[in-house]
Amino acid sequence: MTRIIDLSVAIENNMPAHRNMPRPVYLEWMTHESCKAYNQGVPGDPFTTPIEYVGMLNHVGTHVDAYYHMRPDGQTIDEMPLDLFMGKAVCFELTHIPDLGDIDVKDMELAERKSGVRVDGHIVLLNTGLHKRHYPNDSVMFSNPGLTAAATHWLADRGSKLHGVEGPSTDRPNFAEFPSHRVSRDRGITHVEWLCNLEQVVGLGVFQFQAIPLRFKRGSGSPVRALAILE
């Protein structure tokens, strides 16, 4: 039987966000109780419909970056092919990497051997344990490890068009050079940021992954519902 593991962070009011970004606003707009005033339904069987208000940037919570986010002439999220955001995947065990540490080529090679999967066009997810250590504390926003430029090239060299990390970025927050983003820009690959529950897919070998963006016109990225699909 197919089993689905949700790898997405729940969107909540005032949840952690980048220090230069406003936190999401997620509030009740209409409740079952307030909706009664509209007198919908029939006598003895009222029909009420709660609705929530959502106000957030498209790079908060579990999200993907469009090529346009990293390159002025890159494709926006509505222009990118949807098959980029789904396919065969593997999750690497990297919990030995400390907060603000670097994930380098030697770490990727060791994790690849341990996974038993040779990366060849796979989506690669990186389990560092960051989410379990920090969330929902704000420290999750400024503690994540980062991929080195060489490690990002390593992924691109193996045909991995999409990779995924815990935390808000593939780059360390204390390193303004953004090596992983710049390599992704130059190599034509991208990433899913702020995943969770990755420990549940470590050691499972190959599985199907999808993280489908919303169709924002001229969007630089989009929130996604990231799923591991096990058969």
Dump pLDDT digits (tens) for 164-199.
Answer: 999 999 999 999 999 999 999 999 999 999 999 999
List of the chain residues with pLDDT < 70: none
Q: Are strands 102-103 and 146-147 parallel, antiparallel or unpaired?
A: parallel
Residue 231, classed as helix, strand or coil, is coil
Identify the DSSP state of 216: -
Question: Which 8-state DSSP code applies to residue 230?
Answer: E
Task: Look at residue 178 in the predicted model and tell me its pLDDT.
Answer: 97
Task: Give the global pTM.
Answer: 0.95
DSSP string, 173-225: TT-TT-HHHHHHHHHT-EEEEEE--GGGTTTS-SEEEEEPPP--TT-SEEE--
Q: Give the pLDDT confidence score for residue 1 in this predicted structure.
A: 86
Secondary structure class of 16 (helix, strand, coil): coil
**pLDDT value for 20:** 87
For the beta sheet containing 3-6, the strands, ordered from the edge strand earlier in sequence to the opposite edge, are 3-6, 226-230, 207-211, 86-93, 123-127, 162-166, 190-195, 63-65, 221-223
Question: What's the CATH superfamily of 63-230?
Answer: Putative cyclase (3.50.30.50)
pLDDT of residue 16: 95
Listed by start position, the domains of the chain span 25-55, 63-230
